[in-house]
Amino acid sequence: MPKSKIVRALLICIALVAVLVVGLALALFLPFTRMAPPTDGARLPGGATLVVSGGSNVYIMPSEIGRVVLVDCGGDPRMTAVAAALKKMGLGLKSVAAVLITHAHPDHIAGCLALPSAEYYSEAAEIPYIEGSAVLSNPLSSLFPSAPKPTGIHIAHGLEDGEAGHLGDLGVVGFLVPGHTPGSAAYLINNVVYAGDAAAFDRSGKLVSSPWIFNSDGEMAANSIHALARRLAGEKIELVATGHTAPGSFAALK
């Protein structure tokens, strides 16, 4: 093959790779520029504190004297921001009695192993993905396929849809909201719905789905959050707290 054709072919390959990289970067990051940014340290109704940890929201809520419950662990394996927030409360990571995991994406579970005393809860359908015996499928993972790998996280109790119980003084109801992942969960605690990435709020306050590239089934994800809003229509819901954005309201769906 003539040298000029080889150079041309290389240039075409480089251009295609560049287009792919730019397109992937836009798909990953552009949607987040439209989202309402969370306020680190914000207090929620019912006494929860929002902590931004490793790019996602972790919620700390007192469950009994000297003990707290978290919703998600965040993306920081050392949980530095969470530890700092707990220190302000006169507590440490050992005070975390339980973690309610919304779903298995790394930015929500990477910090879990930094919690020596915690028990982990999730929807039963999400257990294989959290523990690492199965791999989540979505458009992003299809570009970077991987094999199952144990995470070291063990779910103490897999919840069924609508299951209610208590963690210390906290009453908790877990709901299955599949689509973002097959076993995505939302938790109703003290009149606040902790929806993880099953929901997000844009800068106008509109409730929207997570970016398509992270969803296992985007249509199902959108249907799930609408169905949950209808299901809880008779409840006094003060806020919907999400995995990455400022909280908002189910009223934004109307």
Res 222 pLDDT > 50? yes
pLDDT at residue 43 is higher than 90: yes
Please report whether residue 121 resides in a domain: yes
**Separation in Å, CA 174 to CA 125, 161, 163, 164, 194:** 12, 6, 6, 6, 10
At 134 the pLDDT is 97
Q: How confident is the model at residue 250, as a pLDDT?
A: 87
Is residue 12 situated within a structural domain? Answer: no
In the block, which residue shows the tokens 């700390």? 60
For the stretch 145-198, pLDDT in tens is 889 999 999 999 999 999 999 999 999 999 999 999 999 999 999 999 999 999
* Residue 34 domain flag: no
Q: Nearest Cα to 148, choosing from 131, 123, 167?
A: 131
The DSSP code sequence of the chain is --HHHHHHHHHHHHHHHHHHHHHHHHHHHHHHHTBPPP-TT-B-TTS-EEEEETTEEEEEEEEETTEEEEE---S-TT-HHHHHHHHHTT--GGGEEEEE-----HHHHTTGGG-TT-EEEEEGGGHHHHHTSS---SHHHHHS-------S--EEEEEPTT-EEEETTEEEEEEE-TTSSTT-EEEEETTEEEEETT-EEBTT--EEPPPGGG-S-HHHHHHHHHHHHHHTTTS---EEEESSS--B-GGGG-
pLDDT surpassing 90 at residue 226: yes
Rounded to an integer, what distance in angstroms lies between the CA atom of residue 92 and that of residue 113? 14
Q: Measure the CA–CA gap between 29 and 172, rounded to whole angstroms.
A: 33
**What's the confidence (pLDDT) of residue 146?**
86
* Mean predicted confidence (pLDDT) in 21-25: 45
Q: Is residue 14 part of a domain?
A: no
Comparing C-alpha atoms, which of 122, 104, 44, 116 is closest to residue 79?
116
Confidence at 11, pLDDT banded by 50, 70, 90? low
Exposed, middle or buried, 113 (CB in 10 Å: 0-12/13-18/19+)?
middle
Residue 252 has a pLDDT of 64
Q: Looking at residue 32, what is its pLDDT?
A: 62
Q: How confident is the model at residue 49 (pLDDT cuts 50, 70, 90)?
A: very high
Q: Give me the mean pLDDT over the 236-249 stretch.
A: 96
Q: What is the structure's pLDDT at 172?
A: 98
Q: Is 70 inside a domain boundary?
A: yes
Domain count, the chain: 1
- Model confidence pLDDT, tens digit, residues 100-127: 999 999 999 999 999 988 999 999 999 9
Name the pLDDT band for 19 (thresholds 50, 70, 90): very low
Beta strand 164-167 with 170-176 is antiparallel
CATH for 203: 3.60.15.10
Whether 226 is in a domain gets the answer: yes
Mean pLDDT score of the chain, rounded to an integer?
90
- Please give the residue range of the domain that contains residue 145: 40-253
pTM reported for the whole predicted model: 0.89
Alpha-carbon torsion angle 209, 196, 203, 32, nearest 10:
-70
pLDDT at site 89: 96
| 67: in domain | yes
Q: Between β-strands 67-71 and 155-159, what pairing exists: parallel, antiparallel or unpaired? A: unpaired
Q: Is residue 13 part of a domain?
A: no
